[in-house]
Structure 1
Amino acid sequence: MNDVVSVRRAIGLTIPIAGGGLAGLPDVVATAAEAGITEVWSSESNGADAFTPLAVAATAGRRVRLGTGVAGYLTRGPALLAQSAAALAELAPGRTAIGIGSSSYPMVQGWNGIPFDRRVARARDTVTFLRQAFAGGTVRGPFETITTRGFRLARVPGEPPPVLVAALGPRMVELGLEHADGVVVNWLSPSDVDGLLGGRRDREVVCRIMVCPATDPQRLRDGLRPLFAGYLSVPTYAAFQRRLGRGELLEPMWRAWAAGDRAEAARCVPDEVIDDLVVHGEVAACRDRLRSYLDAGVTSAVLAIVGPDGGPAAPPWPELREMVAGLAAPARENVGSSR
C-alpha cells in the first residue's frame, strides 16, 4: 500500500547556540523565527541532552518545530525514551520530531560503559517500541534486542510524532526509509543526497549542515581541519565517506591519524572536502548552496553555525535572515512508495 506523507522544505537551527545558555533559548527561538527559521534541532554529545533544550525552546511561544537531532537509543532504555519524547510532544503538539541515533563507540562504550553493538536491530526495535507506545496501548513487540513487559504510556501524545533514524550506513538508511519516518544525516554534500536515498523523495530527510557566511575561505578551512580529522576518523564516519567516494582524498589523513599524528592528520584534510561539506562564502552563495540541498531531497536543512575561524559561533542574525529568505516552504502531501 502506498503511503501519503508530508514533505517539507524547512530551515532549522541547531540549539543550544554557541555562547548561549539554556535559560536564554526562548529569546533565541523568537529571534530565529523572525529571521525565517522554521525548526530548531538539538544535538547531543557531552553538553546538554537532546530533550532539555527543546523543552525550554517550547516556551518561546513560536510555532517552530522541535526535533531531537539525535537522542541516543543505546544509552537510554526504550521506556524512558518514549516518556521523554511524549513529554516533548505534549509541550509542542504536532510540532515535534524524534530523531534517534546510536551515537558513537567513544560516547556509548567509552563514556557510559554500554556495549556498542547490534545497532541496526536495536534501532528497528526502538522505532517499533516508540510507535506502539505513542499509539497508547501496551507495548508488545515483537523485539529482537529489547526485553520489556507491560509498559504503557500514561500520557499519550495527542498527535504521535514522527520517528527518524540517524543514518550513515546503508542498512540504517534503509531502516529509516522503510521502517521509520525518515533519516537524520550529516557530513555530506548536496551531490551525495540522491545516491544516499536511492532517488526516494517520500520520507523526511533532516540534514545538519555547517554554515559560515564568511569571506576568508582559507582561514575557515584551517580552523576546521582538526574537527574534520577527528570526526572523519571515527570508523563509522570514515566508512561513510568511503561510500560517498572520498576515500582516496582522505586516505593520507586516515594514515596520519592511525599513526597517532593528530597534527599531520589535520594538515592532510583536503580543501576540496571542506568545501564539499561546509556551506561558506558570501551570503548569496550560502543561500544558493542551501537551496541545492533542498532541491536534492533534504526536507529540513539544519544549520550548525561556525565562525570565521572554524569554531562554533552564535548566529549572525542579519546575514542569517538574508541567507534563508525564501527557502522554507510549507509541507505538501506526496504519495510515496510502499514500505
Structure 2
Amino acid sequence: MRAELSIGVPGALGPEAVRALAPRVEAAGFAGLWLNDSTQGDSLTGLAAAAEATTRLRLGAGVIPVDRRPAQSVVADLRRTGVREARLTLGIGSGQLRSGAVDAVAAAVAVLRAETRAAVVVGALGPRMRRLGAEHADGVLLSWLPPDVAGEQAAELREAGRQAQGERPRISLYARAIVDEAARPVLEREAAQYASYPAYAAHFARLGVDALDTVLPRGDEDLAAGVAAYRGAVDELVLRAITPTGSLDDLLAFVDRAAALLA
C-alpha cells in the first residue's frame, strides 16, 4: 500500500483564493484538497470553488462539527453550493459536544450516507469514535499521530470495518507540515495551542507523545523521509500546510515546494 498525498488548508482562506490554489494542487500531482470548516470559513463553499477549477482533484471537508452544523443543514448546503458530491469526502466530528458525542455523530453519519453521494468519514481521536467511523461510515480521519501509532490504529480499523461492513474503510491522516524553516515558529505555536486543549492534551498523554512528535518534518528528518514513514500506514496522508503568513502566495509556494521535495 502506498498512501495518496493530499494538501490541507484553512477554510478561512475563502473561495476565490481556493479557486486559485486548487488547480496548482492538481497540477502538482496531489490527490486531493482538504479544507477545514470553521466559523471563519465554510468548507463546502470553498470546495465548490475548487471543483469548478479542477477536473479530478478529490475534495475533502475536515471536519464539519455536528454541534454547529447538523446533518440536514449540511445536506442543504451541499445543494446550495452545488459541490460535486461524487468527488467529495465529508469529514464530520463532534465539535464541542461533551455528552452524547458518539451518538450525535452516528446519527449524522446515517443521514449523510443516506442523502448524499459523498463519502462520509469520522474525525476521531478516541477509540469509540474511531470504531464508529470504521464500522458505520466510509472511513476515519485521524490527526496528531506519529507514524507507528497511525499504522497500528489503521490496521485495527481496517479489521473492524471488514468485520462490520464487509469492506475496508478508508483511513486518512492529517499531518501538520512545513517546507520552509521560516514557518517552524508557526508550527510550534500551533502544536502548543492544540496541546493546551483538554481533549488533545488527554490524547497526547494517552499516547505518551509530544505534539511535535506528530508533525513533518521532525528534527533533522527531511520531508520526504517523514512522509515515507506514513505512506505505508494509511490510505491518504493530508499535508496540512503551515506557512509563515498563511497567505495565498505562501500556500502556492508550499504546494510547489512540497511537490519538488517529494518527487
TM-score range, shorter chain: 0.7 to 0.9
Larger Rg: 1
Residue 294 of structure 1 and its aligned partner are, at CA, apart by 1.8
Task: Return the alpha-carbon distance in structure 2 between the equivalents of residues 290 and 229 of structure 1.
Answer: 22
Q: Unpaired segments of 5 or more residues in structure 2?
A: 159-167
Residue 54 of structure 1 and its aligned partner are, at CA, apart by 0.4
1:132 aligns with 2:114: yes
Task: Return the alpha-carbon distance in structure 2 between the equivalents of residues 214 and 305 of structure 1.
Answer: 10
- Quick one: percent identity of the two aligned structures? 29
Residue 122 of structure 1 and its aligned partner are, at CA, apart by 0.5
Structure 1 residue aligned with 2:206 = 243
Relative to the length of structure 1, the TM-score reads: 0.66
SS at match of 1:185: strand
Structure having the higher helix fraction is: 2
Residue 195 of structure 1 and its aligned partner are, at CA, apart by 2.7
Residue 243 of structure 1 and its aligned partner are, at CA, apart by 2.0
Task: Within 5 Å, give how 1:3-152 maps onto structure 2.
Answer: 9-16=3-10, 21-85=14-78, 91-103=83-95, 105=96, 116-134=98-116
Residue 231 of structure 1 and its aligned partner are, at CA, apart by 1.0
Residue 169 of structure 1 and its aligned partner are, at CA, apart by 0.7
1:169 aligns with 2:169: no
1:304 aligns with 2:215: no
Task: Return the alpha-carbon distance in structure 2 between the equivalents of residues 8 and 180 of structure 1.
Answer: 22
SS at match of 1:36: coil
Task: Return the alpha-carbon distance in structure 1 between the equivalents of residues 14 and 114 of structure 2.
Answer: 35
Q: Is the 8 A contact 2:75 2:112 kept in 1?
A: yes
Residue 73 of structure 1 and its aligned partner are, at CA, apart by 1.0
Larger relative contact order, structure 1 or 2 (CA cutoff 8 Å, min sep 6): 1
Relative to structure 1, the CA distance from residue 87 to residue 291 in structure 2 (aligned partners, 3 Å threshold; closer, same or farther) is farther
> In the alignment, which of 163, 176, 189 is matched to residue 210 of structure 1?
176
Residue 75 of structure 1 and its aligned partner are, at CA, apart by 1.1
Task: Return the alpha-carbon distance in structure 2 between the equivalents of residues 29 and 101 of structure 1.
Answer: 24
Q: Is the 8 A contact 1:194 1:200 kept in 2?
A: no
> In the alignment, which of 181, 189, 194 is matched to residue 138 of structure 2?
181
Q: Unpaired segments of 5 or more residues in structure 1?
A: 1-6, 106-114, 135-159, 251-272, 326-339
Residue 8 of structure 1 and its aligned partner are, at CA, apart by 7.6
SS at match of 1:280: coil
Partner amino acid for 2:69? R
Q: Is the 8 A contact 1:11 1:39 kept in 2?
A: yes
Aligned-residue CA RMSD (Å): 2.8
Q: Is the 8 A contact 1:209 1:279 kept in 2?
A: yes
Task: Return the alpha-carbon distance in structure 2 between the equivalents of residues 205 and 87 of structure 1.
Answer: 29
SS at match of 1:69: strand
Structure 1 residue aligned with 2:161 = none
Residue 87 of structure 1 and its aligned partner are, at CA, apart by 5.7
Residue 224 of structure 1 and its aligned partner are, at CA, apart by 3.5
Task: Within 5 Å, give how 1:244-323 maps onto structure 2.
Answer: 244-246=207-209, 273-274=211-212, 276-280=213-217, 285-296=222-233, 298-307=234-243, 312=246, 314-315=250-251, 316=253, 317-323=255-261
Which aligned runs of 4 or more in structure 1 are off by greater than 6 angstroms? none
Relative to structure 1, the CA distance from residue 83 to residue 8 in structure 2 (aligned partners, 3 Å threshold; closer, same or farther) is farther
Task: Return the alpha-carbon distance in structure 1 between the equivalents of residues 57 and 73 of structure 2.
Answer: 25
Q: How many residues align?
A: 250
Task: Return the alpha-carbon distance in structure 2 between the equivalents of residues 322 and 41 of structure 1.
Answer: 20
SS at match of 1:100: strand
Q: Is the 8 A contact 2:90 2:119 kept in 1?
A: yes
Relative to structure 1, the CA distance from residue 70 to residue 291 in structure 2 (aligned partners, 3 Å threshold; closer, same or farther) is same
Q: Is the 8 A contact 1:167 1:173 kept in 2?
A: yes
